[in-house]
């Protein structure tokens, strides 16, 4: 069976294509080049592209490159900048996986006659009793990436394969070293991939300069307390770097219309309730009452039990039934039932405990 393997030049996708080769598939390596307007940060880097090419050559596997720079700008970078200009804290990786990477890899798979797309994600696929294929947590809890894939539709999930589902990062590194893969000793990538030196503000300087303009910091009562350095530099719940006396203070609200930061007095609060928009579910609404539901608000967070109440037009309200969490408007909220992803939404507002 022909299998398209999405490559990045990193160790995880390199071992994924090794896995495909060892198991008798007819693999094709495909790398998406996401160079986009703005700061000249090629994604992946030229070195990473050459590592991917060398990996395929060493394994005797065809290698193809697709330029998706224009789509990357329109579907990922522009929404990222728009969100910051609205006072939100976006997560571009979850958007990129559904709106760009997986979609483009499936399109490439169709072109070369591949049934499935394999990636180097640490996640699993499970088929429920209803026949629906869903994303689930991978074996390595420290590296699990199901949160980043929570936006994927069941139709997209059906076309995927996760060779590293039952692997740990240490095992993947060891396999890469044993086989002499070019990426064996490369460090993991972190942060926003298209930001120069990891500083997303350099992207916003070009795409949303208004989000970096100074403005007032006021108390909940409207008293002027200071000046901020641009709403994009702050997140709801933030308590450090405010530069205010008489604290402790925390960011309670970001008002984008007049570029105002509203702060509350006291220790950093946690969130007891989330309002979600753009909610997608891969289970019937009736099933929500019969299964445990938990929400994970960012990559390294622990999913916490919630009571989920659906609204109209893709909205929902998630009330935490145990400990409150840290969360901010704009972040992705992955919905789980035990280890299985059952949906996703974007946090529109929060209510503090």
Active-site residue set? 96, 193
CB 303 within 8 A of CB 318: no
Q: What is the dihedral of CA 237, 242, 244, 246, to 10 degrees?
A: 30
Instruction: Give the integer Cα–Cα distance in Å for 188 and 345.
Output: 27
Smallest CA-to-CA distance from 263 within 294, 231, 286 is with 231
Instruction: Give the integer Cα–Cα distance in Å for 318 and 273.
Output: 6
Q: Who's near 313: CB < 8 A, 6+ residues apart?
A: none
Q: Where would I find the beta strands (DSSP E) of 82-176?
A: 116-118, 123-127, 133-137, 160-161
Residue 226 DSSP SS3? strand
* Measured CA distances, 194 to 90, 103, 211 (Å): 14, 19, 18
Q: What is the dihedral of CA 205, 74, 99, 101, to 10 degrees?
A: -80
Strand ordering across the sheet containing 26-33? 63-67, 26-33, 2-7, 116-118, 160-161
Smallest CA-to-CA distance from 349 within 236, 238, 260, 268 is with 236
Does the N-terminal peptide bond of residue 248 adopt cis geometry, omega within 30 degrees of 0? yes
Rounded to 5°, the CA angle 130-122-297 comes to: 80
């Amino acid at each position: 069976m022909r299998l398209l393997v999405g490559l990045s030049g990193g160790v995880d996708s390199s071992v994924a294509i090794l896995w495909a080769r060892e198991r008798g598939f007819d693999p094709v390596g495909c790398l998406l080049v996401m160079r986009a307007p703005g700061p000249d940060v090629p994604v992946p880097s030229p070195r990473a592209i050459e590592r991917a090419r060398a990996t395929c050559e060493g394994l005797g596997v065809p290698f193809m490159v697709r330029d998706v720079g224009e789509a990357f700008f329109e579907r990922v970078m522009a929404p990222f900048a728009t969100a910051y200009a609205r006072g939100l804290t976006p997560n571009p990786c979850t958007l990129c996986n559904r709106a760009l990477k997986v979609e483009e890899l499936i399109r490439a798979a169709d072109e070369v006659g591949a049934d499935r797309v394999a990636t180097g994600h640490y996640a699993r696929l499970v088929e429920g009793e209803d026949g629906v294929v869903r994303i689930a947590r991978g074996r390595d809890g420290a590296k699990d990436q199901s949160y980043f894939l929570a936006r994927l539709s069941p139709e997209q999930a059906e076309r995927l394969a996760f060779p590293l589902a039952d692997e740990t990062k240490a095992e993947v590194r060891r396999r890469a070293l044993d086989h002499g893969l070019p990426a064996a000793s490369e460090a993991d990538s972190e942060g926003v991939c298209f930001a120069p030196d990891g500083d997303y503000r350099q992207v916003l300087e070009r795409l949303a300069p208004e989000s970096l303009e100074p403005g007032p910091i006021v108390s909940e009562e409207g008293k002027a307390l200071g000046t901020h350095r641009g709403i994009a530099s702050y997140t709801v719940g933030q308590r450090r770097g405010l530069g205010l006396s008489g604290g402790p203070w925390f960011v309670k609200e970001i008002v984008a219309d007049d570029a105002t930061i509203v702060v509350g007095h006291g220790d950093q609060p946690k969130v007891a309730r989330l309002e979600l928009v753009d909610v997608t579910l891969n289970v019937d609404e009736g099933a929500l009452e019969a299964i445990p539901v938990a929400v994970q608000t960012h990559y390294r967070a622990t999913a916490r039990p919630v009571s989920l109440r659906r609204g109209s037009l893709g909205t929902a309200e998630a009330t935490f039934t145990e400990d409150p969490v840290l969360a901010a408007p704009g972040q992705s909220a992955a919905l789980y039932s035990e280890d299985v992803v059952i949906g996703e939404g974007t946090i529109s507002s929060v209510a503090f405990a």
